[in-house]
Amino acid sequence: MENEKIIGVVGGMGPYAGLDLVRKIFDHTEAGADADHLPVALLSYPARVPDRTAFLLGRSDENPAEAIAAMAVALDRLGAVVAGMPCNTAHAPRIFDAVLARLREEAPRLRLLNMIDETIRFLREEHGNCTRIGVLATLGAYRTRLHADALEAAGLEAILPDENVQETIVHRTIYDPSYGLKAHMNPVSMIARQSLVSAVEHLREQGAEAVLLACTELPLALPEPELDGTPLIDPTLALARALIRETYPEKLKPL
């Protein structure tokens, strides 16, 4: 199609997060019939992508950037002009910068949006009155201060869980094989949801005025826009809206 602007989604990290991004692109598009919806290509090849946190914590030498870049190149070959990757941890510079470097060589016209930057932009546009921002993320993102550094660079204060809460509550809620979100998404286990509610409470007690659900599994377990009055910021939503804005801005639904 002439002038068609395909949106690429680098999925599989995890699989349900990829689906969630595509759904949010559809949900935030003004459309009255099938043909009004935007062209989207989703590649979800989870077994190809080494675990992001294991690499960042030095438990593995295998940089997931190779597999991620290969998916992005395949999206470019399909005709995607812009792409998003619904995985916060994969935006850590040791991974994301390596992906961008390879794209500069192999797919220079594809614009891979940065979900962390888009989340901070969304936060400032929609919650400009919040300056103390809590962060719930994987251990890889926590230890590398992925969101904390980005928030501080934007003049905001990052509020992170205590190390103990991070390891025993937040990270386990994502990864635990018996009740974690990566193993049990449909339905989400009660213990996972309760753990996250208590982690939000822990951040609020430290002064958080809003909380970033900064692992793409988390908004699937806490889909509500706020919890006891504290806004929950969904990076997948921010990325979905950015992908529409960068392709068909006239179709972006008002919030």
Q: Looking at 14-22, 113-121, 139-147, 165-173, which segment touches a copy of itself (CB under 8 A)? A: 14-22
Closest CA to 38 of 251, 255, 253, 254: 251
The residue within the footprint of a copy of itself, chosen from 57, 81, 183, 227 (CB under 8 A), is: 183
CA distances from 230 to 133, 208, 210 (A): 10, 8, 5
Residue 31 binds a copy of itself (CB under 8 A): yes
Supply the minimum distance, in Å, between the C-beta of residue 134 and a copy of itself: 25
Supply the minimum distance, in Å, between the C-beta of residue 157 and a copy of itself: 32
Beta bridge mates, 6: 80
The residue within the footprint of a copy of itself, chosen from 4, 97, 152, 226 (CB under 8 A), is: 4
Supply the minimum distance, in Å, between the C-beta of residue 77 and a copy of itself: 8
CA distances from 154 to 132, 138, 157, 212 (A): 12, 21, 9, 15
**Binding track, positions 44-83, relative to a copy of itself; x by CB under 8 A:** xxxxxx-x----------------------x---x-----
Residue 245 binds a copy of itself (CB under 8 A): no
Supply the minimum distance, in Å, between the C-beta of residue 197 and a copy of itself: 24
Residue 190 binds a copy of itself (CB under 8 A): no
Residue 249 binds a copy of itself (CB under 8 A): no
Instruction: Specify the residue, 47 or 128, whose C-beta has the smaller distance to a copy of itself.
Output: 47
Residue 243 binds a copy of itself (CB under 8 A): no
Residues 168, 171: Cα–Cα separation, whole Å: 7
In the sheet where 157-159 sits, what is the strand order? 157-159, 132-136, 210-213, 230-233, 226-227
Supply the minimum distance, in Å, between the C-beta of residue 152 and a copy of itself: 30
Q: What does the angle CA 127 – CA 9 – CA 233 come to, to the nearest 5 degrees?
A: 15
Supply the minimum distance, in Å, between the C-beta of residue 222 and a copy of itself: 18
Question: Would you say 145 and 115 are in contact if contact means Cβ atoms under 8 Å apart?
Answer: no
Residues 6+ apart with CB under 8 A from 71: 10, 11, 12, 43, 45, 48
Following DSSP, what letter does each residue of 128-153 receive, concatenated? TT--EEEEE--HHHHHTTHHHHHHHH
Residues 111, 29: Cα–Cα separation, whole Å: 20
Residue 127 binds a copy of itself (CB under 8 A): no
Q: Give the footprint of a copy of itself on this chain (CB under 8 A).
A: 1, 4, 6, 12-16, 19, 22-23, 26-27, 31-37, 39-49, 51, 74, 78, 177, 182-183, 185-186
